[in-house]
Structure formats: C-alpha cells, structure tokens
Structure 1
Amino acid sequence: MSTIILSTESGADLSADLAEELNVQVVPMHVIMNGQDYLDGTLPVENIYEHYNQTKKIPSTSATNVHEYQEFFTRIKEDFPGCTIVHVGYTSKASSSFQNAVIASEEMENVFLVDALNVTGGLGAIVLYAADLLKKNPEIEPGSLVEKIEGVVPKSRLAFVPGSLEFLRAGGRVSNLAYLGGALLKIKPRIELKDGKLVSTKKYRGSMEGIAEKLFRDYLSEYEIDRKQLYLIYSVGLDEEIKRRMDEIAKENHFENIKWIQAGAMISSHAGPGGFGVAGLEV
C-alpha cells in the first residue's frame, strides 16, 4: 500500500504551518508586480497595497505552469518514494493552473487530480476535508479517496465581499460607472463560486461591519453548513472588531471549530484590503 500525499495550489490560502502539520504539499501560483514575477507566498500582501497606493495599479496574477508542475510532482515522488499523489486543484474555470497540472501528470504514474471548482477558503475546505479523511483512514485506496473528495466538491460553499471596489475597478472587473455608483452608495458585491466560476450573486449596502454580518447571516440561512468546521476568510486590513463579531456569530450558531484563513497575495491582488468571506461544507 503506497503512501498518499495530498497537494494543492497556493490559491487555497493554507498557512505554511497548517500545510506542514497536515503534510499537504503546496505549489505556488504567481504574482507579477513592477515587471517582477513573485511566487505566491513570497510577496507580503502589504507590499501589494503599498504598490497600489503609489501607482493605482494592481499586480497581475498567473497560473502555475506545466514545467513547474512537472518539477513539483517529481520532487514529491523523490521525497516520498513510491507515493501516490492526490492533487486538489484551483478551479479550472478561473485559471489554467488545473489544466497545466493535467498536462504535467500525463506521463506520470499514480497522480490523481481533482478539480475543486473553488478558490481560497472554498478550496481549502476541500483540501482539509481530504487531509482529515486520510488521517482517519491512512489505508484508504487512492481511488476511494478521490471519489470521496469529488463528492464534497459540489458541497463546498464560499461567499465573500471584497474590501475595496478600487481593486475590482483597477483589475477591470467593474466599470468606472459601476464603481462610482457603488462607492457613493457604499455598495459591495457578494462573490460566490457557481459551477467553478466567480459570480456576483447579491449586493450589500452600508458599512463593512454591517455588510460582513449580513453576508454571514445570509450564508447561514441559505446553506446547511456542517457545524463541525467553518472557515472565515479575511484580507489584511479587516477591522479586528469585525473579526471578533464574526467569531461571536459563528459560536452562536454552534460551530465546533472555527478557523480564520488569511487571503494570500494572489487572492488579495483581486479582492483588495479589508475583505471578508466565509466557507464551509454542506451536510
């Protein structure tokens, strides 16, 4: 029976400590700023915000390429001889990263790929589900593990509101007219993953504190989330009082384990500072 090694992209926003604890191998995606290519995880998020404040430009992002995946999978196999790799990937509907992983694995044995159709905490929730399953049943067959992971992919629910419409505008995701209207009326979109695609499903108006609470309560009323685990996502700059209040709401709703996930450089390049999101698995 070969050892199963889980892997994913940096877009899952797993902390280095958590990834090490769970033995999840993470391949970096890319952030390009000032003409320099940074591996996601090596660029402090604060540098992105400082760059935007100075230039009014946001970094661009790019997927892990085929060659990087080949090196990544090869290194795992060298570090864990005879292992089987189960890679849970960033949604194929928003990045070429997953397809690049498919191409890279074509001539490799014992590499299984799962398209999570999700990002950040939504992807992280699936990876951590797989890690927990593997921990409880280390003798599980790779095919069975993949089947179980694929079974929870449609149950992973992620919803978030960006902290700054300026970043969405700078990235071409909202028009100037929509930005001006949203800024004047303090309106922010709720972003969710639908069939793997990032879509705006609702708009909230008011202060970020009020919007975060509305988002959270709507999320809990719309989805029957497993109370064993909840993931709260934030980008640097979210007010600590908002985080405290979100903890209170989570506890009021009887979640057993509440884990905060910080959006990394790649996700923050699109969402901006002070964003909030929530992710979990439906029962």
Structure 2
Amino acid sequence: MRKIILSTESGADLPTDLAAEHNIQVVPMHIIMDGKDYLDGSLPVQDIYDYYDRTKKIPSTTSTNVHEYQEFFSKINKDYPDCTIVHIGYTSKASSSFQHAVMASEEFDNLYLIDALNVTGGLTAIIMHTVKQLEQEPNIEPTKLVEKIEAIIPKSKLAFVPGSLEFLRAGGRVSNVAYLGGALLKLKPRIELIDGHLVSNKKYRGKMSSVSEKFIRDYFERHNIDRGQLYLIYSIGLEEGIKQRMEDIAKEHGFENIKWMQAGAMISTHSGPGGFGIAGVEV
C-alpha cells in the first residue's frame, strides 16, 4: 500500500506543530511588498502592518505558480518514493493557485487534487479531519479518502470579523462609502466562506470586545460543530483579554480541544490586524 502524503498551501495557516507532527507538506504563496517577492511564511506579519502604517498601502499577494507546484510535488516524490499525494488546496474562487496545481498535475500519476473551497482555519479544519480519517483507516484507498474529504468540505464552517475596515478598503474590498459608514457607526462585518467565496452577511456594532462575543455566540447558534476540535484564529493586535474570553465561551459550549491559529501573511494582508475568526466541522 502506498503511503499517503497530505499537502496544502500556506494560506491554510496550518500551525507548524501540526504540520510537523503529521508530516503535512506546505507550499508557500507569495507576498509582494516594496517591489520584492516574499514567500508566505518567510515574512513577519508585523512587517505588513508596519508597511501599511508608513505608506497607507497594502502589499499584493500572488498564488503559487505552476513551476513551483511541479518542484513541490517532485520533491515530495523524491523524499517519499512510491507515495500517493493528496493535495487539499486553497479555494479556487479566491486564488489561481488551485488552477496552477491542476496544470502542474499533468506530470504526475500519483497525485489527487481537492479544491477545499476554504481558507485559513476552514482549510485547516478539513486537513486535520483528513488526518483523523487516516489515523482511523491507515490502509484506506486514495480514491475512497478523496470521496470522504469531498463530503466534508461543505461541512467546514469558517467565519471571521476583521479588526478594522482599513485593510479591506485599501485592498478595494469595500467601497469608500461603505468604509466611512462602517467607521463612523463602528460597524464590523461578519465575513464567511460560502461555496468558496468570501461573503459579508452581517454587521455588528461596537468595540471588538463586545462584537467578538456576539459573533462567537451567533456562530455556535447557527452551526452544530463537532465538539472534538475547534479552531480559533487571531491576527496580531487582538487583545489577550478577548482571546481568553473567546476560549472561555468555547469551553462553555462543550469544546475542550481548542487550537489557536495566527493568521499568516497571506491572510493578514487581506484582513488586517486585530481580527478574530472561528472554524470547525459540522456534525
């Protein structure tokens, strides 16, 4: 039986300890800042915020290209001869990265590609659910594993509230009118991944301390998340007191296995500092 190796992109924000423990291979996406190309993961997130403070511009991001995927998959094959690669990719609705993986896949006959239609914690939730599946069925056939992953994709629920609208405005993701209105009224949008698309479908009024509590309680009301694992996502700048309160509320709802994840450079470039998100898989 060929060994199954899981892989994904850096936009999953997969914590390094989980990647190392479960031998999950991660290919970096790109951050372009000051005319320089940085691999996601090599650039401190704080540098992005400092750059915005200086210039009032946000860096741009680019996907993993075809050549990088070819090298990435080739290295996995070299390191793990006779393996089967199952690549669980960043949503194709928000990046060309998955399409580039498809183009690169023509050279490999031991590669399965799955569009997870999710990002950051929502993508990590799918990956870690797959890890659990492999632990339960170590000899599962790759085609059967792919079927199980595809069945879980619609059940992975990610939502987040950005710390401010500035990065969304600077990146053209909200209009100036919407930005000014939101800023004046102290409104914060709830953004969710729906069918692979980022959708703003509710607004909260107030400070982040009160908004985050309303947001997490709404999330638990709307989704019956598997109590076995919950992912809480933060971007640099989220107050420690808010983080502790979010964890306390999660525990009140029966979650014991809570994993905090920091939004990496790719995600932070779009969402800015001080944000909070939550992800899990519905039962």
CA deviation after TM superposition for structure 1 residue 72, in Å: 0.3
Q: Distance in 2 between matches of 1:105 and 1:129?
A: 24
1:70 aligned partner: 70
5+ residue gaps in structure 1? none
Q: Distance in 2 between matches of 1:202 and 1:39?
A: 33
1:138 aligned partner: 138
CA deviation after TM superposition for structure 1 residue 177, in Å: 1.4
CA deviation after TM superposition for structure 1 residue 17, in Å: 2.1
Q: Distance in 2 between matches of 1:132 and 1:226?
A: 13
Q: Distance in 2 between matches of 1:66 and 1:107?
A: 11
Give the residue type in structure 2 aligned to 1:267. I
2:269 aligned partner: 269
1:169 aligned partner: 169
Q: Distance in 1 between matches of 2:36 and 2:17?
A: 27
2:220 aligned partner: 220
1:128-182 Cα deviation digits (max 9, x unpaired): 1111211232211111111111110000000001112110110011111111111
Q: Distance in 1 between matches of 2:264 and 2:135?
A: 26
Q: Distance in 2 between matches of 1:134 and 1:27?
A: 21
Q: Which is further off, 176-185 or 112-121?
A: 176-185
Matched, 1:281 2:274: no
Give the residue type in structure 2 aligned to 1:191. I
Percent identity reads: 71
Q: Secondary structure at the match of 1:106?
A: helix
2:149 aligned partner: 149
Q: Distance in 2 between matches of 1:176 and 1:193?
A: 23
CA deviation after TM superposition for structure 1 residue 235, in Å: 0.4
1:172-197 Cα deviation digits (max 9, x unpaired): 11111111111111101110011110
Q: Distance in 1 between matches of 2:275 and 2:40?
A: 19
TM-score between the two structures when normalised by the length of structure 2: 0.99
Moved over 4 A (4+): none
1:112 aligned partner: 112
2:34 aligned partner: 34
Give the residue type in structure 2 aligned to 1:181. G
Q: Distance in 1 between matches of 2:112 and 2:185?
A: 47
1:250 aligned partner: 250
Q: Secondary structure at the match of 1:191?
A: strand
Q: Secondary structure at the match of 1:236?
A: coil
1:211-245 Cα deviation digits (max 9, x unpaired): 11111000100111111110000001100000000
1:197 aligned partner: 197
Give the residue type in structure 2 aligned to 1:255. F
TM-score between the two structures when normalised by the length of structure 1: 0.99
1:185 aligned partner: 185
Q: Distance in 1 between matches of 2:131 and 2:8?
A: 11
Q: Secondary structure at the match of 1:50?
A: helix
1:18-63 Cα deviation digits (max 9, x unpaired): 2011110000000100000000000000000000000000000011
Q: How many aligned positions are there?
A: 283
Q: Distance in 2 between matches of 1:40 and 1:250?
A: 30
- The alignment yields a C-alpha RMSD, in angstroms, of 0.7
1:66-103 Cα deviation digits (max 9, x unpaired): 10000000000000000000000000111010111011
Q: Secondary structure at the match of 2:212?
A: helix
Show the 5 A alignment for 1:77-92: 77-92=77-92
Q: Distance in 2 between matches of 1:75 and 1:223?
A: 39
Q: Distance in 2 between matches of 1:122 and 1:180?
A: 30
Q: Distance in 2 between matches of 1:35 and 1:138?
A: 46
1:85-128 Cα deviation digits (max 9, x unpaired): 00000001110101110110112111001110000000000001
Q: Distance in 2 between matches of 1:94 and 1:72?
A: 21
